């Protein structure tokens, strides 16, 4: 009986943690809407150059102590990004993330599809570029 309960619990956890959103098609970003946070529209180009600033929306990034550092570390490994150019937008409360956007000033060529895939691989699905300056 205990094994059955543990099995059901494990199955529920696996289902609850699964990525329920469809993935972006190969070669480009998509337009998406995020419930509860207003409409978030992805920007289409996959490559950007030095001098541009891009804003990433990472909806599954909730904690400034574990989530944000993991996303930042992942972005630091991408071409065209230096560690000091990555900034989490200002939050209402320092203990949580209420606005999961990250602004990155690019120092070289940047492939957003590759970066978003890397962010997804470390557990943050549905990240997307939402603004470019």
Q: Which two tokens stand for residue 80?
A: 């065209």
- Determine the Cα–Cα distance for residues 21 and 133; give it in Å rounded to an integer: 27
pTM for this model (two decimals): 0.67
Domains of the chain: 29-132 (3.30.70.100)
- Asked if pLDDT for residue 75 goes beyond 90, the answer is yes
The token pair that represents 64 in the structure block: 């400034």
Cα dihedral 8, 11, 12, 17 in deg (nearest 10): 160
Q: How far apart are CA 2 and CA 63, in angstroms?
A: 33
- pLDDT one-digit tens code per residue, 17-40: 333 333 333 334 333 333 344 555
Higher pLDDT, 31 or 84: 84
Position 60 pLDDT exceeds 60: yes
List phi, psi (to 5°) of 84: -75, -5
Phi-psi region at 123: left, alpha or beta (left = phi > 0; alpha = psi -120 to 50):
left
Q: How confident is the model at residue 72 (pLDDT cuts 50, 70, 90)?
A: very high
Q: Please, which pLDDT band fits residue 111 given cuts at 50, 70 and 90? A: very high
């Amino acid at each position: 009986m205990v094994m059955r309960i543990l099995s059901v619990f494990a199955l529920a956890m696996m289902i609850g943690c699964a990525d329920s959103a469809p993935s972006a098609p190969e070669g480009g970003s998509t337009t998406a809407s995020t419930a509860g946070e207003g409409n978030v529209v992805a920007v289409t180009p996959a490559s950007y150059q030095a001098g541009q600033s891009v804003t990433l929306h990472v909806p599954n990034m909730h904690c400034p102590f574990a989530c944000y550092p993991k996303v930042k570390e992942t972005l630091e490994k991408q071409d065209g990004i230096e560690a000091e150019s990555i900034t989490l937008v200002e939050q209402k409360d320092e203990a949580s993330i209420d606005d999961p956007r990250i602004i990155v000033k690019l120092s070289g060529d940047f492939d957003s599809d590759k970066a978003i895939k890397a962010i997804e691989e470390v557990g943050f699905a549905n990240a997307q570029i939402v603004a470019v300056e």
